[in-house]
Amino acid sequence: MHKRNAILLLGIFSIIILIAAQIIIIKGVWRQKDEMLNLRYRLFCQDAIELLARQWSTDGFDTARMIIGSKSEMVLKMMAEKKTDTLSAEERKDLFDYVSLALNKEEDLSAFLSRYFELRGIDKDFTSRIVINRFELVDYDRRIPVYMSEEFASRMLARSDTARRNTPPPDMRRQARSNEIMIKRFGNEYNFYRLDFEFGIDFSDKQKMILREIATSLGLSLFSIILVVSLFIVTYRNLMEEKRLSNLKTDFINNMTHELKTPLSTITVAGRTLEMPIIRTNEEKILETAKMIGKQSVHLNQLINMILEISMWERTQFQLEKKRMRIQDLLNEIIFSFKSGGGKGAVIECKYDFGDLEVDLDPIYFTTMINNLLSNAVKYCDTDPVIEIEGFIRDNNIIISIADNGIGISKNDQKRVFDKFYRASSGNIHKYKGLGLGLYYVRKIAEAHEGDVTVSSKPGKGSIFTITLPL
């Protein structure tokens, strides 16, 4: 038990470590591919911007700058007429919205990049993103703040601090979103304004693009995890099966030892009885003792033959010697023999009428199959046994059901009651004698005839075994 639990815990721990390692690897590969994708598109964009500058002497924002310049000049003239040096919060907001709209609507860089990406054979479906960091009106030496983002302001402050300390300046670029690739930061002062903004492209399916690139690595990782988990499950199941078979073997040896001890003990006692002088002079006692020895010897021989049969059946398959038999006569003969032998005292009700129907079957094995079910019906009954045998034809099959009023079989035991050596738990294991082979033989014989056997039972309500054999 401790060994099994240790193996289970070790296996689960190993699988967790494997999954954690694979997740770390996949995250690393994902991060690397993401950086490579960003770098690749950033380089493509820089080449496109340089090409645009060489061919058209523009960076794609000239029209927007002209519109913003005209608007800035108008606002400065308005302020001069009002003789004010500041703008109200509402005026700053309106001006900022105007500048933002001009940059997004009047820029030509996005369309050029899309055509450039298409010529290069790469994904061209993106959304441009323009983030304004700072906008100021400039009137000669006078600067009128309109907008400055908090992030940009903090970076400016950090850069001034590092300049005083003579340390390298921090990265002035804004932290991009997961799907966004920052391309370039623009910052210039013109006649009437100062404008700093960043241009980026946003791929809504960026994660799909990365996923396509790491599909092979991801597939191999998932395959390795599934393979290891499957091997662990198979190994653990095999271990459980080995444990189960070991327990069955132990139970079989215990049962067989108990079964062998009974006739041997009786023969030993009978032998010692015959040695007594008072017995040797009594012919009646000698005869009675001799019959007892003979009976127990027969029982002992049956047990030994059963062990030999087990070994034989393990090595070879059933070799049926089928004969054309009248099923009605064969069943009647089996039931008559059973009533004359081990079935004394059992009430057997026969509800079948096969008439002159003949079937190809092995009469010896068929008799063994029916006898085993009848013997179990008597053995596992705590009251006067009542057995009902019903037979009929359905769907070109012979159906034979044997119902009893015995102790019944629990639902859990029904799943394994046909397994070799398995005995249903019923308190004292020696209360009902047996080796756990009777129903195993029943199933093997039914399957050898290309048929099947099933059980329906409730504890305390008896059992119904149904044999199905093809015509």
pLDDT 10s digits, 281-322: 788 888 888 888 887 787 677 667 666 666 666 555 567 788
In whole numbers, what is the pLDDT of the chain averaged over residues? 83
Considering the domain architecture, whether residues 184 and 277 belong to the same structural domain is answered as no
66 and 89 co-located in one domain:
yes
Query: Do the domain assignments include residue 139?
Result: yes
Range among 97-101, 188-192, 308-312, 412-416 with highest mean pLDDT value: 97-101
Count of structural domains within the chain: 3
Q: Give me the mean pLDDT over the 15-31 stretch.
A: 85
What's the average model confidence in pLDDT over 433-439?
70
pLDDT of residue 420: 76
What is the mean pLDDT of the segment spanning 325-337? 89
pLDDT in tens, 40-53: 889 999 999 999 99
Residue 431 has pLDDT above 70, yes or no: no
Q: Is the residue at 225 inside a domain?
A: no
Q: Which domain holds residue 350?
A: 323-470
CA 400 to mean position of chain CA atoms: 40
166 and 291 belong to one structural domain: no
Residue 221 lies in a domain: no
Residues 173, 52, single domain; the answer is yes
Strand order in the sheet with 386-394: 347-352, 386-394, 397-403, 462-470, 452-458
Tokens of 178: 């997961």
- Going from the C-alpha of 420 to that of each of 168, 209, 244, 436, the distances in angstroms are 80, 57, 11, 6
pLDDT in tens, 241-285: 777 777 767 766 766 676 677 678 778 888 888 888 877 778 888
15 and 118 belong to one structural domain: yes
Q: Looking at the structure, do residues 209 and 329 belong to the same domain, yes or no?
A: no
The verdict on residue 153 lying in a domain is yes
Beta-carbon contacts of residue 15 (< 8 Å; ≥ 6 apart): 225, 228, 229, 232
327 & 310 share domain: no
Is there a domain that residue 40 lies in? yes
In this predicted model, which residue has the larger pLDDT, 430 or 286?
A: 286
Please state whether 304 falls in left (phi above 0), alpha (psi between -120 and 50) or beta: alpha
**426 exposure class (CB count in 10 Å sphere: 0-12, 13-18, 19+):** middle
pLDDT at 140 over 90: no
Lowest mean pLDDT segment, chosen from 110-114, 127-131, 240-244, 345-349 = 240-244
Phi (first) and psi of residue 319, to 5 degrees: -110, 90
Same domain as 361, residue 294: no
d(CA 84, CA 78): 9
Flag whether 233 is in a domain.
Answer: no
Residue 239 maps to a domain: no
